[in-house]
Amino acid sequence: MGLSLRDLQEALYEILGAVLSVNAINRITLKAQKQMFQSRQTRLEETPPILIVDGVWASVQCSSEDFWEDQAGHIRKLRHAEDRVILVAMAVWPDGTQTVLHYEMAPQESEAAWLLFFAHLWQRGLQPYSVKLIVSDGTTGLPKVIRALFPLAQHQRCITHKVRAMLRHLGYEQLPHLDAQGQELSHSEAKKLRYSQIKHDAYAIYKAPDWEEAIVMLLVFAQKWTDLEPDAVRTFIKDFALTLSFYDFDESLHSLIRTSNALERLFREFRTKADEIGAFPNEESCLAIFFLVSRRDHAKHDRLKNHGE
């Protein structure tokens, strides 16, 4: 979980009262990796109706064709860190349960990488005609793959990513000089006010009771903000219908399927560990850490759910 062997030995010494050998720690690590491999190969007995897909980046040490000589005179292959992405699919079941279905490492989030990713899911037993919705951010190449491989599935663009993309295009022209109480605003305060107001109005659209009302609210939003923030509104309106697909599913699932936040939460946990480690020694160790983080996150989610019940 981001600890060096020495750190782990010291931590376990406080618990066990003895130093755990490096071989013992390696055996535990190999067992975790074995469970990770099994989890990614187990045949799927049922296909979830909804998938949330996204990728998280990590740094992995890779060998090169060059060599170097260490202090002991040994000739070793030169290694360097390269960025790799872990592609992930999370299942959302009709009762609202969420589980990590599949994950694998790829050199980049490309159309080819996603095609291979879903091909491996098919090999595990995923039925493409049983998938009704796929939730994702605006990853290039993925929409084309969804249309080609999942003919009956709708595409839900994450509303969080949609709003964030709009906010990046704010021009902050014609800023207000006074707040709602008539107090004078500084330039930075006026920018913050514009940012919070248009963000609030954008998210309010997705609280509409149905698709039709959301479109009406979008028209009101555009009328209010187009003259002040034309680039932001143009960005927000583009492909807007893709952010409303969640309305075709049970209302109890709306908060779970209109964003990719469930995966983003998991990715934040993984990034914390990845930052502590730096560059992983190989892809297997990187995937093993992701496996352990996802297992812990799932267990934590189950405890909270059971406690709430």
Question: How many Cα atoms occupy the beta-carbon half-sphere of 84 within 13 Å?
Answer: 24
Give the mean model confidence (pLDDT) for residues 97-121: 95
Residues 6+ apart with CB under 8 A from 224: 201
The 10s digit of each residue's pLDDT in 35-88 is 888 888 899 999 999 999 999 999 998 766 666 566 666 665 566 789 999 999
Give the mean model confidence (pLDDT) for residues 148-171: 97
Q: What is the distance, to the nearest Å, from the Cα of residue 30 to the centroid of all Cα atoms in its chain?
A: 27
The 10s digit of each residue's pLDDT in 203-252 is 999 999 999 999 999 999 999 999 999 999 999 999 999 999 999 999 99
Residue 278's pLDDT band, with cuts at 50, 70 and 90, is confident
- Whether the pLDDT of residue 268 is over 80: the answer is yes
Q: Residue 133 forms beta bridges with which residues? A: 50, 154
Residues 6+ apart with CB under 8 A from 263: 52, 53, 54, 88, 90
What's 21's DSSP letter? P
**Who wins on pLDDT, 87 or 17?**
87
**Who wins on pLDDT, 272 or 130?**
130
Averaged confidence pLDDT in the chain: 88
Residue 297's pLDDT band, with cuts at 50, 70 and 90, is confident
- Whether the pLDDT of residue 304 is over 60: the answer is no
**Who wins on pLDDT, 70 or 169?**
169
- The answer for 182, left when phi > 0, alpha when psi is -120 to 50, beta otherwise, is left
Q: What pLDDT, on the 0 to 100 scale, is given for residue 72?
A: 66
**Who wins on pLDDT, 263 or 139?**
263
So where are the chain's domains?
Answer: 1-42
**Who wins on pLDDT, 219 or 33?**
219
Give the mean model confidence (pLDDT) for residues 298-307: 60
